[in-house]
Amino acid sequence: MLTNPLTKNIGPENIAADIERYRESGGYRGWSKALEMAPGDIVKMVQDGGLRGRGGAGFNTGLKWSFVPRGADSPSIKYLVCNADEMEPGTFKDRLLMERDPHLLIEGMAIAAYAIGAHTAYIFIRGEYHLAAERLEQAIDEARQEGLLGNSIRGTEFSLEIFVHRSAGNYICGEETALLNALEGKRAVPRAKPPFPQVSGLWGKPTVVNNVETLCNIPNLIEHGIDWYRSLGRGEDAGSKLFGVSGRVKNPGTWELPMGTPIREIIEQHAGGMCDGYQLKGFLPGGGSTDFLGPDHLDLPMDYDVIGKAGSRMGTGTIIVLDDHTCPVGLVLNLTRFFARESCGWCTPCRDGLPWAVQILERLENGEGVPEDLDLLREQARRMGPGNTFCALAPGAAEPIQSALKLFEQDFIDHVMHGCCPFEKVAEASAAV
Amino acid sequence: MTSMIEPEVVELMERSNKHPSTAEAQLTEAEIEEIEREFSRYEDKASVGLEALRIVQKHRGWISDETLRAVSNFLQIPVAQLESVATYFQLIFRQPVGKEVILLCKSASCWIMGCSRLQQKLQNKLQIAPGQTTADGIFTLLETPCLGDCDKAPVMMVGEEMHRNLTDESIDKIIENKKAHHADQSPD
B108 at interface of A, judged by CB pairs closer than 8 A: yes
Give the list of residues 6+ apart from residue A20 with CB closer than 8 angstroms, or none.
none
Best to test chain A binding among B40, B44, B109, B155 (most A CBs inside 10 Å): B109
Phi, psi dihedrals of residue A271, rounded to the nearest 5°? -90, 0
Nearest CB partner across the interface for B146, out of A91, A182, A331: A91
CB A118 within 8 A of CB A160: yes
Q: In A, which residues are within 8 Å of B91 by CB distance?
A: 127-128, 168-169
The whole-number average pLDDT for the span A151-157 is: 94
Nearest CB partner across the interface for B145, out of A165, A168, A171: A171
- Work out the percent of chain A whose per-residue pLDDT is above 90: 94
What's the pLDDT at A430? 57
What's the pLDDT at A371? 96
The whole-number average pLDDT for the span A198-215 is: 97
What's the pLDDT at A426? 63
Q: In A, which residues are within 8 Å of B43 by CB distance?
A: 203
What's the pLDDT at B184? 83
What's the pLDDT at A9? 96
Residue A402 has pLDDT above 60, yes or no: yes
What does the pLDDT look like over A78-135, one tens digit per residue?
A: 999 999 999 999 999 999 999 999 999 999 999 999 999 999 999 999 999 999 999 9
The b/e string for A14-39 (b: 16+ C-beta within 10 A; e otherwise) is: eebbebeebeeebbbbbbebbbeeeb
What's the pLDDT at B54? 95
Residue B32 has pLDDT above 70, yes or no: yes
Best to test chain B binding among A246, A281, A326, A351 (most B CBs inside 10 Å): A246
Q: In A, which residues are within 8 Å of B146 by CB distance?
A: 87-91, 288, 338
Residue B115 has pLDDT above 70, yes or no: yes
Q: Sketch out chain A's domains with CATH numbers.
A: 19-231 (3.40.50.11540), 243-321 (3.10.20.600), 328-432 (1.20.1440.230)
What's the pLDDT at A214? 98
Q: Higher-confidence residue: B9 or B143?
A: B143
The burial class, CB within 10 Å (0-12 / 13-18 / 19+), for B24 is middle
Query: What is the β-pairing status of strands A79-84 and A207-211?
Result: parallel
Q: Do A168 and B92 touch (CB under 8 A)?
A: yes
Mean per-residue pLDDT over chain A, rounded: 95
Q: In B, which residues are within 8 Å of A163 by CB distance?
A: 41
Residue A431 has pLDDT above 80, yes or no: no
How far is Cα B59 from Cα A155, in angstroms, rounded to an integer? 42
The b/e string for B100-116 (b: 16+ C-beta within 10 A; e otherwise) is: bbbbbbbbbbbbbbebe
Residue A343 has pLDDT above 60, yes or no: yes
The whole-number average pLDDT for the span A192-197 is: 93
Residue extents of the structural domains in chain B: 20-86, 100-185
The whole-number average pLDDT for the span A368-392 is: 95
Best to test chain B binding among A77, A128, A274, A430 (most B CBs inside 10 Å): A128
Q: Which residue in chain B has the smallest CA separation from A332?
A: B108
Torsion of CA A225, A227, A228, A233, to 10 degrees: 130
Interface A:B, Cβ pairs < 8 A? 141
3-state secondary structure (DSSP) of residue B73? helix
Q: In B, which residues are within 8 Å of A339 by CB distance?
A: none
What does the pLDDT look like over B38-62, one tens digit per residue?
A: 999 999 998 999 999 999 999 999 9
What's the pLDDT at B23? 74
What does the pLDDT look like over A281-294, one tens digit per residue?
A: 999 999 999 999 99
Range name among A141-145, A201-205, A270-274, A422-426 with the lowest pLDDT average: A422-426
What's the pLDDT at B15? 73
3-state secondary structure (DSSP) of residue B104? strand
Q: Which residue in chain A has the smallest CA separation from B77?
A: A185
How far is Cα A162 from Cα A153, in angstroms, rounded to an integer? 13
What's the pLDDT at B188? 52
Q: Do B1 and A87 touch (CB under 8 A)?
A: no
Pick the CATH number of B100-185 from 3.40.30.10, 3.40.50.300, 3.60.9.10, 3.40.50.920: 3.40.30.10
Q: In B, which residues are within 8 Å of A167 by CB distance?
A: 50, 89
CB A235 within 8 A of CB A301: yes
Compute chain B's Rg from CA coordinates: 19
Nearest CB partner across the interface for A163, out of B41, B150, B151: B41
* pLDDT range class, residue A215, cuts 50, 70, 90: very high
How far is Cα B102 from Cα B79, in angstroms, rounded to an integer? 29
What's the pLDDT at B2? 45
What's the pLDDT at B1? 41
Q: Do B89 and A358 touch (CB under 8 A)?
A: no
How far is Cα A274 from Cα A271, in angstroms, rounded to an integer? 8
The burial class, CB within 10 Å (0-12 / 13-18 / 19+), for A163 is middle
What does the pLDDT look like over A45-79, one tens digit per residue?
A: 999 999 999 998 899 999 999 999 998 889 999 99
Torsion of CA A140, A145, A149, A154, to 10 degrees: -150
Residue A433 has pLDDT above 70, yes or no: no
What does the pLDDT look like over A316-335, one tens digit per residue?
A: 999 999 999 999 999 999 99
